[in-house]
């Protein structure tokens, strides 16, 4: 995924949070970013789309008609992406737990000892039982 795509996703996330929370500062807090970064993300998204998404005053923000349409279209898509990310993280954690249950992997000098003391003699015994034709 390109850096541009990631920035667009962050901007869309900021937009959705702002619309849902009714406040740019609350959206910034929810995302753990500064209000200035949230404002910049919204500005970049509006520039990219070529439309105003919010009516802004010093006291309030409300969605424009275009903003309402974009919110309705983007919320399900963003939710789907969040669910996909959660599923991927869970899969990673399940793999880590499974790997931990199998015990430690061989590291460094253990490779040599495992070969000399375990795998190689077993292969040698197996090979003598099945000579080449």
pTM comes to: 0.65
Binning the chain into helix, strand and coil, the percentages to the nearest 5 are 75, 5, 20
Q: Tokens for 53, please give them.
A: 């998404």
Per-residue pLDDT of 25-63, as tens digits, reads 999 999 999 999 999 999 999 999 999 999 998 888 999
Q: What is the pLDDT of residues 53-74, one digit of tens each?
A: 999 988 889 999 999 999 999 9
Q: Which of 31, 29, 83, 74 has the alpha carbon at shortest distance from 53?
A: 74
Q: Which two tokens stand for residue 90?
A: 């869970």
CB 71 within 8 A of CB 64: no
């Amino acid at each position: 995924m390109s850096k541009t795509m990631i920035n667009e996703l962050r901007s869309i996330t900021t937009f959705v949070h702002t619309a849902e929370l009714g406040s740019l500062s609350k959206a910034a807090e929810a995302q753990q970013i500064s209000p200035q970064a949230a404002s910049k993300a919204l500005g970049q998204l509006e520039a990219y789309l070529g439309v105003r998404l919010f009516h802004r005053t010093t006291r309030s923000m409300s969605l424009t008609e275009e903003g309402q349409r974009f919110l309705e279209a983007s919320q399900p898509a963003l939710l789907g992406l969040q669910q996909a990310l959660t599923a991927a993280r869970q899969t990673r954690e399940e793999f880590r737990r499974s790997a931990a249950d199998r015990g430690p992997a061989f590291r460094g000098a253990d490779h040599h000892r495992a070969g000399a003391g375990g795998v190689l003699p077993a292969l040698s015994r197996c090979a003598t039982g099945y000579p080449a034709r």
